[in-house]
Structure 1
């Protein structure tokens, strides 16, 4: 089969488009013919050596959608999708024409999603789903999503609206603000961190019950914008990993800080999440993913380079 593979960690030039033996499914496993695979920033960081537990040689990639071509009879011919811990790090991942994994590690693909759309959802949606679950976002919750124009932030906005939460999106660019307005999403423009609490107060009297910072830079400003007994979820941090936390203001509000890391969840645990929000697509409660950039797997190395150079495009690799 054809695949992207790297043999040296820490060097993006090590990633190559190669031909390797097609894996075979053992008892209790499925062989999935991949129709589309998502490319996430974490995949690029993986090749760049940011994850010390990664072993080489390795086929990277976490997110995929495809068809089961070998395995237990109930799954044969079924369209499935998947993602999760280990894929592309300690076991070969999805940036290939085929992948083998335990049968419980895949979920049935929602009928409303194409293979390309399904492949775009794994990491962004499971991350957002986990953040909302663990910060108790439900119908009526007031939620501020900082960085709502990113993949995870956008997923959080859509998932929260599907739950019936009151959502306020925060973005840095006027064009992103205008796009959210066209979608009917209340939004504010980020500027002076000291002004964030007042901006939120205009929409949510007493502050936001939950704040989801997807950027890693707004935690200090988020605390004053938090309601009493509120929760702040974070998925990122500055390069040095440190941030000034106004601890006095946080504990006086009874606030809770929630760290969210999708790499903590196995593919089987992620499959349960996929089932959880996948049905929302089929019910018409989630908008279908748009603005996806489809690229042949053979051109995938260049796509890794574009993401590494700061491209915000959502690349979908097609074997």
Structure 2
């Protein structure tokens, strides 16, 4: 089978498209023929060595898949069923013709989505779902999402609105209208807005890290919650009276089933900026690393 792998840590030039043996499912795992694979920032962080595992080189790439079941488990989806799901971190293996993943990590592919659109969903939408759950977002809360037009961000703003929250989201100026179309109550230009001058938020979701996390502490009201995704909570900037969590996404087929229902109902939109062929995985990584993706990038197989 074709697979994108890498045999040393480095830039996108270490990626290779090569023939590899077909994977063999372990107990509880499905074999899925991959039709499309989502691209996430954690992919290039893995390639660069910031995210590592205990497997020997060459290492597989990617965690988001949409495809067709080729072998199953008792009580699992039928052979031939269209599914989407997320492989468990930190073991990548989505940028390839066939992959294995736990039956508990997949759900039926939303009927309204193409395979490419479905592959854009799992990791980013589950991250948003689990972050909002950790923060206990409910109707009436004021929620700020940093980078609301990005992969995780564009799901987070929609899911928060679905929960009844009042949503503010930051983005570049050219993405503010996109945020309005997603239902964001207050889209703000990240380069000019002075969020600290306004009313504090009940929940702040930091999808960026670094200086954004540092600034976010002063945007949360006393008794509120800060959730950070790309890095650990920086205790040097902690303020009293604020609860802070770091969320690392985990596979969850049942949550994907519920997210799929929201997608098929029209409550959640999936934004795919570009679909590239598998052999252009390196180009996808370059685009993702530049950090200017609206929604998601996807590799088509």
TM range (shorter): 0.7 to 0.9
CA contact (8 A) 2:33 2:99 kept: yes
Equivalent-residue separation in structure 1 for 2:2 and 2:135 (angstroms): 41
Equivalent-residue separation in structure 2 for 1:220 and 1:112 (angstroms): 40
Give the alignment partner of residue 217 of structure 2, picking from 184, 209, 223. 223
Q: Which has the larger radius of gyration?
A: 1
CA contact (8 A) 2:158 2:183 kept: no
CA contact (8 A) 1:69 1:76 kept: yes
Matched, 1:15 2:19: no
Q: TM-score, normalised by structure 2?
A: 0.88
Comparing 291-300 and 129-138, the one that deviates more: 291-300
Comparing 112-121 and 210-219, the one that deviates more: 210-219
Equivalent-residue separation in structure 2 for 1:157 and 1:122 (angstroms): 16
> 1:278 offset after TM fit, Å?
2.0
Closer, same or farther in 2 for the Cα pair 1:32/1:137, shift >3 Å?
A: same
Q: How many residues align?
A: 295
Residue equivalent to 1:178: 177
Deviations 1:221-264 (A, max 9, x none): 333332231111111359xx96851x4xx31xx210111122xx
Equivalent-residue separation in structure 2 for 1:4 and 1:61 (angstroms): 9
Matched, 1:5 2:8: no
> 1:190 offset after TM fit, Å?
3.1
Give the alignment partner of residue 209 of structure 1, picking from 202, 212, 216. 202
* Secondary structure in structure 2 of the residue aligned to 1:285: coil
CA contact (8 A) 1:63 1:122 kept: yes
Residue equivalent to 2:127: 127
Equivalent-residue separation in structure 2 for 1:178 and 1:243 (angstroms): 35
Deviations 1:138-196 (A, max 9, x none): 2222111122122111111011111111111123x222223323554222233478x32
**Structure 2 unmatched runs, 5+:** none
Residue equivalent to 1:273: 255
Comparing both structures, which one devotes a greater share of its residues to strand? 2
**Structure 1 unmatched runs, 5+:** 202-206
Equivalent-residue separation in structure 2 for 1:135 and 1:258 (angstroms): 8
Equivalent-residue separation in structure 1 for 2:203 and 2:26 (angstroms): 45
> 1:100 offset after TM fit, Å?
1.9
Residue equivalent to 1:81: 84
Closer, same or farther in 2 for the Cα pair 1:160/1:310, shift >3 Å?
A: closer
Equivalent-residue separation in structure 1 for 2:197 and 2:36 (angstroms): 44
Closer, same or farther in 2 for the Cα pair 1:208/1:296, shift >3 Å?
A: same
Comparing 93-102 and 181-190, the one that deviates more: 181-190
Residue equivalent to 1:260: 247
> 1:3 offset after TM fit, Å?
1.0
* Secondary structure in structure 2 of the residue aligned to 1:218: helix
> 1:109 offset after TM fit, Å?
1.6
Q: TM-score, normalised by structure 1?
A: 0.83
Query: Aligned ranges for residues 1-319 of structure 1 at < 5 Å?
Result: 1-25=1-25, 28-55=28-55, 56-72=57-73, 74-86=77-89, 89-90=90-91, 93-171=93-171, 173-185=172-184, 186-191=186-191, 195-199=194-198, 201=199, 207-216=200-209, 217-237=211-231, 244-245=236-237, 247=238, 250-251=239-240, 254-262=241-249, 265=250, 267=251, 270-287=252-269, 289-310=270-291, 312=293, 314-319=296-301
Deviations 1:41-77 (A, max 9, x none): 1111111111232532121110000010222475211
Equivalent-residue separation in structure 1 for 2:180 and 2:279 (angstroms): 38
